[in-house]
């Protein structure tokens, strides 16, 4: 079952922060985050596993709340290069049989 992402779109000024949420109706084993720029392929950002710690990647970090069955991606002091569509992907099993991408959140960072 496809996870829900919110917001669907967000517009920021350079230097502002943003949070993108990904939630599931089922208990999750792992959550992936990807960014896709227009006309390009999705690029892997990070993966969070059940029982794991919050991850960080430069000024982009993510958390995984197993109890709420959701993950949040945090973009701090956004840069123009952060613009793109962010996808979460969720997996409910340990064997990867049910991995599915969310619909995406379009992020636009303006100067």
Partner 1 sequence: DAGVIQSPRHEVTEMGQEVTLRCKPISGHDYLFWYRQTMMRGLELLIYFNNNVPIDDSGMPEDRFSAKMPNASFSTLKIQPSEPRDSAVYFCASSLDFLNYGYTFGSGTRLTVV
Residues contributing to the site for partner 1 (CB under 8 A): 2, 29-30, 32, 34, 40-44, 46-47, 49, 87, 91, 94-97, 99-104
Nearer to partner 1, 64 or 87 (CB): 87
Least Å distance, CB 34 to partner 1, is 8
Joined together, the tokens standing for residue 47 give 């993966």
Nearer to partner 1, 27 or 43 (CB): 43
Least Å distance, CB 32 to partner 1, is 5
Q: Are the C-beta atoms of residues 46 and 30 closer than 8 Å to each other?
A: no
Least Å distance, CB 5 to partner 1, is 10
Nearer to partner 1, 53 or 95 (CB): 95
How many Cα atoms sit within 13 Å of 65 on the Cβ side? 12
Least Å distance, CB 75 to partner 1, is 18
Nearer to partner 1, 104 or 109 (CB): 104
Please tell me the distance from the alpha carbon of residue 25 to that of residue 71, in angstroms, as a whole number: 12
The residue among 111, 103, 52 whose CA lies nearest residue 78 is 111
Please tell me the distance from the alpha carbon of residue 69 to that of residue 61, in angstroms, as a whole number: 17
Alpha helix (H) residue ranges in 1-111: none
């Amino acid at each position: 079952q496809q996870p829900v992402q919110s917001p669907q779109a967000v517009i920021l000024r350079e230097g502002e922060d943003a949070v993108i949420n990904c939630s599931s109706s089922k208990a999750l084993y792992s959550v992936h985050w990807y960014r896709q720029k227009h006309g390009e392929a999705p690029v892997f950002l990070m993966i969070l596993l059940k029982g794991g710690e919050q991850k960080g990647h430069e000024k982009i970090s993510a958390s995984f709340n197993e109890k709420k069955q959701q993950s949040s991606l945090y973009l701090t002091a956004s840069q123009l290069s952060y613009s793109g569509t962010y996808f979460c992907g969720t997996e409910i099993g340990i064997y990867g049989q049910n991995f599915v991408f969310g619909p995406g959140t379009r992020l636009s960072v303006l100067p």
